[in-house]
Amino acid sequence: MSAIENVSYDTLIPNNVGLSSDRRVLKALEKWHPGYINWWNELIPQKFQRSPVYLRTAVSVDPKGWAKFDYVKMPEYRWGVLLAPQVEGRKIPCGEHAGEPAWQEVPGEYRALMRRLIVIQGDTEPASVEQQKHLALTAPSLYDMRNLFQINVEEGRHLWAMVYLLHKYFGADGRDEADDLLRRSSGSEEAPRMLGAFNEATPDWLSFFMFTYFTDRDGKMQLESLAQSGFDPLSRTCRFMLTEEAHHMFVGETGVGRIIERTCEAMKAAGIDDPYDIERIRKLGVIDLPTIQKKLNLHYTLSLDLFGQEVSTNAANAFNAGIKGRYMETRIDDDHKLNHATYRVAGLENGHIVYRDVPALTAINMRLRDDYSKDAAGGVGRWNKIIEKAGIKFEMKLPHEAFNRKIGVFANQQFDIDGKLVDGATYDRGLKDWLPTHADGEYIQSLMKPNYEAGQYASWIAAPKVSIDNKPGDFEYVKLHMT
């Protein structure tokens, strides 16, 4: 293991970027630290702050063994600055500088654009912790509570990752931006988070699992494109964040899967074949499949909005400058400049959806969103396998890209779930079947009761197939009673 893969603990902030010999940045981060701890302490209810949680902490950036597991009280978690190892001779992978050596400093001409992208990414990280702050109070098990907290501390670390870049490379402006990341807050009237989906509430655990499946996956795609950046410190930061992100989406996929599994199991035991026999199914204390589909529709469409306009000159500029690449840029077989290439985007003409080819450079967002949709479809297929195995006739689906959009060509149009433009009355009537209603929310809320016995699970969710760190089924992932 090379020196750079080891994390040093000789300062308040664990890191592998040599902070102890970078006095200026160390001082700036130490100044920012108390505000961060305040933010954390005000967010998470006290009883959980005092409880040891079985968490993984990064001790290296070696992909084969970067984490160790142990009980940690969350305010004592060692949030650190961790960059993936530098790749010798790395080149800028795309845009007009393709093939030139990657930058170790920010080029002056791209400073503003780069700072903005880092701030937008940084803003999402604490936002999700804010959105999830009440969930531990209704955790369906200690296993799930532990996963929630693992994700929360890691999103906190992702904030640190972006704040480090701001302090290290962007001087006084960077410091101001870092302070603002703690000033804005999810759902706030005066200072909301920057992106829509990050101001929505996460009121229950089904929402949480859908969020980590769909919205963390948007995070993955954004990180993948920033991992291609010609600005090497940004690329290295994002590459390490991606190793943590994988677990967040695992929690989402298996969480939804376990809810589906439990519903199917309860239906079979009660002899109910019809997934739309909602009243009887709900009497079993499980979440009916059509309601799960409605939650899916909501979270998927909110997440599509995060990719921005289909055709975007900002995205073209970022790609052309080599600040942001495409998903798997280095594995794509083309000139990586896109001077003459085209890409198919959706548009709207006289109420009809049309697809047309536009210069690929301007369609960078659309391409990333298409890659996202393909990636997101994988888990939906696996959820359907669970339903099929139970012998129930129901299929989960990703809704049409035009449905329920607030951003892009389909914004604020009345498309149904299959992408058909419908009149206002039809739309209003359909909505209750497409998106969660108030009553659906209330029903789900009625199930949200804490289950804090080790090895036990709430009525509406199956036990996981695999444990964390090979622990036995009755392992006490959070020691609520040892405070």
Which residues form the interface with Fe ion (CB under 5 A)?
125, 155, 158, 216, 245, 248
* Cβ contact 155:128 at 8 Å: yes
H-only helix segments in 190-231: 205-210, 216-227
* Cβ contact 295:380 at 8 Å: no
Give least dist CB 238 to Fe ion, A: 10
- Provide the b/e sequence for 115-124 (b: ≥16 CB within 10 Å): bebbbebbbb
Nearer to Fe ion by Cβ, of 245 and 261: the residue is 245
Q: Which two tokens stand for residue 428?
A: 């209003």
Nearer to Fe ion by Cβ, of 146 and 294: the residue is 146
Q: Position of tokens 């700072």? A: 115
Q: How many CB atoms lie within 10 A of CB 12?
A: 14
Q: What's at 178, amino acid-wise?
A: A
Give least dist CB 155 to Fe ion, A: 5
Q: What's at 397, amino acid-wise?
A: K
* Cβ contact 230:323 at 8 Å: yes
Q: What's at 378, amino acid-wise?
A: G
Give the distance, in angstroms, between the CA of residue 318 and the centroid of all CA atoms in the same chain. Answer: 22
Nearer to Fe ion by Cβ, of 226 and 311: the residue is 226
Give least dist CB 20 to Fe ion, A: 26
Nearer to Fe ion by Cβ, of 245 and 288: the residue is 245
Rounded to 5°, the CA angle 130-480-37 comes to 40
Nearer to Fe ion by Cβ, of 216 and 305: the residue is 216
Give least dist CB 219 to Fe ion, A: 5
Nearer to Fe ion by Cβ, of 126 and 325: the residue is 126
**Angle, in degrees to the nearest 10, between helices 289-305 and 232-269:** 170
- The secondary structure of the chain in percent helix, strand, coil, rounded to multiples of 5, reads 55, 10, 35
Q: How far apart are CA 187 and CA 197, in angstroms?
A: 10
Give least dist CB 146 to Fe ion, A: 16
Give least dist CB 216 to Fe ion, A: 4
Give least dist CB 159 to Fe ion, A: 8
Give least dist CB 314 to Fe ion, A: 22
3-state secondary structure of 160: helix
Nearer to Fe ion by Cβ, of 222 and 362: the residue is 222
Give least dist CB 334 to Fe ion, A: 30
Q: How far apart are CA 245 and CA 124, in angstroms?
A: 13
Q: How many CB atoms lie within 10 A of CB 182?
A: 15
Nearer to Fe ion by Cβ, of 153 and 287: the residue is 153
Nearer to Fe ion by Cβ, of 15 and 263: the residue is 15
Q: How far apart are CA 166 and CA 225, in angstroms?
A: 19
Q: Which two tokens stand for residue 80?
A: 């650190």
Give least dist CB 320 to Fe ion, A: 27
Three-class SS string for 354-421?
EEEEEEHHHHHHHHHHHHHHHHHHHHHHHHHHHHHHCCCCCCCCCCCCCCCCCCCCCCCCCECCCCCE
Nearer to Fe ion by Cβ, of 129 and 281: the residue is 129
Q: How far apart are CA 71 and CA 80, in angstroms?
A: 17
Q: How far apart are CA 146 and CA 153, in angstroms?
A: 11
* Cβ contact 51:482 at 8 Å: yes
Nearer to Fe ion by Cβ, of 13 and 94: the residue is 13
